[in-house]
Amino acid sequence: MAGHEKDAYIALIAQQDPQIRALMDQGFEFVMNAFKPGAAPPGIKAKTDLEQVRSLQQEGYQVETSTAYDEHGHPRPTLSSIWRKKR
């Protein structure tokens, strides 16, 4: 996702989700959306949200997850949105 597209996506989801707005207000930055365990399509190798969270924590970040949304603002129940902040 290019910089401008990412900014527009973040603005869209922050506008409709108070949890995401609160994370942003606390200084968290959006990292990625990641599949929940068992939700990746067959044949797709991808780290789960839990694996991504652990990796970021090992790098020294405070990490939170929230509902993930597509580019139109619709919830994606098979994904988690991952947010990080330096400790």
Q: What is the pLDDT of residues 43-67, one digit of tens each?
A: 999 999 999 999 999 999 999 999 9
pLDDT tens-digit readout, 17-43:
999 999 999 999 999 999 999 999 999
The position carrying tokens 């939700």 is 39
- Whether 2 has a pLDDT exceeding 70, the answer reads no
Exposed (0-12), middle (13-18) or buried (19+): which is 10, by Cβ within 10 Å?
middle
Task: State the residue range of the domain holding 40.
Answer: 3-86
pLDDT above 90: percentage of residues in the chain:
84
Dist CA 58 CA 55 (whole Å): 5
User: How many structural domains does the chain have?
Assistant: 1
Four-residue CA torsion sign, 85, 81, 42, 5:
negative
Cβ-contact 68, 82 below 8 angstroms? no
pLDDT on residue 1: 54
